[in-house]
Structure formats: C-alpha cells, structure tokens
Structure 1
Amino acid sequence: MARARTAPAAAAPVEVELPEGAPTSLSTRRGELTLPVFVPDATRAVVRGVPTDRLADSGVRALLVSTAHLALQPGASVIGALGGAHRFMGWPGPMISDSGGFQAFSLLASGNGLAEVNDAGLNYRFSPKQKFRQLTPRSCIETQLRVGADIVYCLDYCTSPSAPAAEQERSVELTLRWAAECREVFDRMVADRPAEQRPLLFAVVQGGRDEQRRARCADALVDIGFDGYGFGGYPIVDGKLVDEVRLVAELLPAGTPLHGLGIGTPENLVESWQAGYGIFDCTLPTRNARRGVLYTALDVDAIGRGRPYKIARLTDERWVREKGPIDPGCDCPMCTTLPGGAVAHMFRIEDTLAGTLASMHNLRFYTRLTEALHRLGTA
C-alpha cells in the first residue's frame, strides 16, 4: 500500500530582532517617512527615465539628489531661482541631498586629475575641459539649502578601505573639522526659521577599516550633535557589509536615524535594516532595469533566511512568448497591464518605454520590500 504524501510544513513566521529603539518613522518638514524607506537616486534632479509624477505609482516616498552635480549643472542659483529642487522637478515629498564628498572621492580615485583635497575642502570637475569647482563646508551647506533639501549632509572626506593609515587618519580629521563647520553654518542659516520648517542635518562616519578610528569619528560626531548619521559606500570591505554596518550602528546612540549610503542589493538592504538602518539609496534598481534585469517574486517568508526574490532577464529568449505578467505578485503598471512578451519586445526594439516600465517595476519591488520589513518590524 502506497504511503500518503505529507504536504511540506509551512515556514514559521520570521522572528525579527531589531536593535533597541530602532526608529520606525522619521519626521521631516515635508511629511513623515515610514522606515525603512528606499530612496531612489535623482542625481541630477531626475530619476532617469521615470516621469516624476509616476514615482508615487511605484510607492516612492522620498528622493536623493547630488549636490556636486546640481552645483555644476544647472547650478544651485538656477534651481533656487526656479523655486528649489522640489518645484524644479515637480516633487512634493521629502528630498535628501548628499554632500558631494562621495562624488569627489570617485573622481579622486579615477587618477585623472579631476579632484583634489585640501584642508579647506574639495576641488572637483567632471571633465578635464572644465574648471575646478570648490566644495567647502560653507558652500556645501549653502548649496543644499538653496536646492531646498529636507535632509542635508555635512561635507566629508571619503577614502578607500585600502588607503594607507595616514590617509584614513586625515579623512577622520577633515571629516570632523568640516562637520563642525557645517553645523555652525547650518545653524546660522536656519536660525530664523520656525523649527518645523528647518531641514534635518546628517553627518557621515568615516575611519576606513580601523575600528578604533571609526569609533573615534562616531563619538566626535555625536558630541557635535546631528539629526542622523550615514555610513556605507567604499568604507565597506567586500564580503563584510553586515559586520561593518552593525559596528557603526552600535557606535551611535539608540534610536538615531541611520542611512545606509549606497547600500542597494535587496539582501544587503535587509541585513542593514536588521542592524538598525532605516534609509537606503542606490542606483542599482533603475540601472539594472534599463538593462532588462528585473527583481521579481518577492517572498516575505524568505526574508532573513535567504534571497527573498528572483531575477528576470528580459533579454532571455524565454520571455518572447510569455503571455502572463513578468511578476504576477507585483502591482506596478507594467505587471498589471502588459504580458511579459510585450515588454521583452520593447527591449528588443530598444524602445525607451521599456526602461521606464522596468524602472517603475524595480522601484516598486524595493518599496514593497521596505513595506514588508516595516510590517515585520512593527508586528
């Protein structure tokens, strides 16, 4: 007699243990942000390929713009004259601006003579044909306030984790000096504004891979006093993201808003959220989307156990005759209106609509992921 087959047992609910006091929301002058939140990079005051009025369809609640890029083109004075970045791009929600320090680091790392650092600040240009622009603590804050950001960042000196100890030490010294100057300039410039109309001021923790140096940087920044702190990008050594971000989170006061700068894969986002981070930004979702690489099949039950999603590559032959949606579980405009074969066709003929629809889908995947994390964290 054949034995009856037993259905596999359902996975037990994920038990989430967040750091004590990890915030689940952040108040800004343009509204409350539920945490965790994924913030698309609108580097040049545009999320590439996606109309601003369609971002809300993907669940986007905040954007990040680049101080260094906007200061160069169209210029902070132009954006200010046009009503600020919110009016400029038609975005009503909270906006974060970076300091420009990471862009300067990227230019320094290129070795093409596009950037230089001195005690006063950073000099940079994006092409050898351009003149250098100076980025100082004062100009950094002035530019961001003129742009109209709701979360403003102090100027910092970012270095590679492989940089020598002397350079890492200089990074901390300049980051702390500039942070104190930024704090002073910021407080003076917003002194006459009502408290509810003031932006928030964040600082970036530096120190390379040396834990003691990083701890000294974090302690000194806390002494100066900021509304939140960022960490991420190049200071993270490959394969050690979880250890690195958790260490920094443990160095900062409980309940402090933390921004995982440039932390972008879904797995890394989840791991960093479990360490206490609540804000994330990355170009990865939209960049991959333009190449036809989509995140699909979000599995909330797999969060914390493994990769909670699948990858769909629309350039693969299998999608050419797909009658159903690319991701049946997704509520984005692409998945609710079009068969997968139609979107694959758009990519094959290189129609720009393909990148727009795919970008909206990937952004919606990220916002669905952060929404699920919020539910898990507040259950």
Structure 2
Amino acid sequence: MLEQLNGHDDPYPVYDQIRAQGALTRDGGLWATTSHSLVNKILRDRRFGVRYANGTYPGTPNVVSGSFLELDPPDHTRLRRLATPAFSPKKIDEYRARVEKVADALLDQAGDEFDLITDYAAPLPIAVISELLGIPDADTGDFANYGRLVAQSFDGHFSPDIDRANERIFALFERLIAERRARPGDDVISSLVAAEAEQKLTVPELLSTLVLLLIAGFETTVNLIGNGVRALLDHPKQWAFFKAYPDVAGAVVEETLRWAPPVHLTTRLAHEQITLLDKDIRADDGVYLLIAAANRDPEVYPEPDRFDLMRVQKPEHLAFSSGIHYCLGATLARMEGEVAFRAVARRLPDLRQAGPAGHRDSVVIRGMVSYPVSRS
C-alpha cells in the first residue's frame, strides 16, 4: 500500500487506509505502523537500529550514510557527541538576532508578488546554517537545489544530476577542510577538523557529518516554513488569530510540525526477534514508522486532521523523531520557524496565495518547491 504514496500531494488518505488495518500491519516485505505510541516506542527501543544487526547498510548508500544519522551505537554516539556543542540552546539563541535580520531583509527584497519558497523559506535557513558551519556566501547559491536532490535520494531515486551535485558539495567541503587545517576558525568545520586531527573521527566520517549538518540544517526548515505559511493561509481564522497574537509563533511551529511535518517516515530494523502487539518481528525485519500518520493519531490528538494553534501538544509530536536519533537541530529549527512566521505575520498581514503550489517529488520529505504569493 505504501507504493500508493508516490505522486500523491496528499498522502493522508493512504495513511488512513493503513491505520484501518491495525496499529502494526505487514506491507509487502516490511511492517508499518501509524500508531503514535508504537512509533515512539520503536524509536526509543535499542533492539531496533538504522542498520542490519551485522552493521551493514540497508539499500543503496547515500551522501549521509556515513554520518550519525545512518549509524547505530557506538559510532552514532561518538559522532553525534562531536557535533552536539554547535547546536546547544545557548549557541542557537545567539543566532536569533541574525535570523531576524535576515528574515526582514528577505521580505524587504521581495516584490509585491514573490515565491515564498525560493525568495524566503529557502534562503533564510541556508544563510543561517552556512554561517554556523562557516561556509562563505559565495558558495551557497546551489544549496536549495542540492537539498531537493538529496531528498529524492532518500526515496531511493538516483540520477546523474544527484551524482554531479554530490561531487560539487564534497569538493566544497574538501576545500573548506583544507582551509581550516591551515587557518582554524570559530565554526563547526574547524571544530570537526580538530577532532579529526585527534583521530576522533575519520575523513569520510567528517565529510558525511558535514553534509548531514548542511542538509538537515536547512532542508527540513525550508519545508517547515513553507508548510506552515500555507497552512495559515488555508485556514483564515487561524491566520487572523496569529496576526492578532504574533507571540503564539511557537504554537504555529509546533502545530505545523504535527499537522504537516517535513519528514513523513523513517525505517527501523530489528536487531533480534521481537514480539510487538502479539506479532513476531524477525531479526533484520524492517518497520516503516509513519511519523506524519502518528502525528495525526486519533487516539492521541482530538480532531487530528484539524489545524489548530490552540491545540495542547501532549504528548509531543514526533516530527523530530525520538530516542537517540532525536533531531540534533530541533532547537535551531524551532527558533528559525518562530522568527520566520512572526516576520510574515508582522510584515505581510494581507498575504495571499497567488498561484498553484509546486510539490516536491518525494515520499520521505514533504513540502513545496514553489508557492506564489502576493502581499495584497
């Protein structure tokens, strides 16, 4: 049934069909669950991992296969620990003023009609993560397109365009690594280069980690901003409420992440035979964790399909995953989302959609590639 997700702008009817089969169901060769409690349980269960029990990678490796996103402990723990300091709440809070300045500048530059994605939602987080990593502005021009190509590779789609983009991004990081070895700075690349010199990680691990931080640092945030603005404009009463009370920007972030999360699914592999809900999952069996469906689990959220800024977010949505793979950049994404939404409400109170939205060709990462809007 999951193959029906391909080409669907609205996957939620498919999720509902899967949910109707039970909390844990077999879908082709893999298990699948839409249950919030079960998705959360599996994400936290150390008997499951992102690789097979023998440590081999499932499927075709992609550009982040060597990063902590696609590793199990102890390598996951080792690499994540090296990157964590750059995303501490204190560090992220230091960037708030910078994000506000960038958001205002982008809206100043936008015309009466503009594309919310290419003119605002994409360049904002790209500017922030580039500064955090220490990537010069001159090297950031192709990042948005690169993020879309990487998103396709997560679905198992590969093309010469993806290969060429990967070559360019690795060449960029190899150049920046060489520069930081010669002239260290106060940035993430410099700190990871220092760790590599101390043999805390290998050069391939360093490269994969940097690509992961780059992509995760902007790709999902682009979709958070785009999905949130569209949800607001599609729900006039919620949009009016937010404009009247812009301090609820944090609630816009959380309800968008629940209602239209950037990442819709992930997979976990059993490292031993496990019985869940009276069903036997064999070692190395895969389980599709349908995060977007879990975020609309009717057993957890009343009227789950309703976009509601006053919703009590308990338990927490799973848009940032859970357990040891909980999103390292969650604090950064939340801050950027708050700033981006508040700036739109304050600066563009008469904003409206001005043309059809263009959707990403991806099952795993959901969002828009274009969203024409008008200031009035």
Give the structure-2-normalised TM-score: 0.29
Q: Whose RCO is larger (CA < 8 A, sep 6+)?
A: 2
With structure 1 as the length reference, what TM-score do the two structures score?
A: 0.28
The structure whose residues are more often helix, as a share, is 2
Rg comparison, structure with higher value: 1
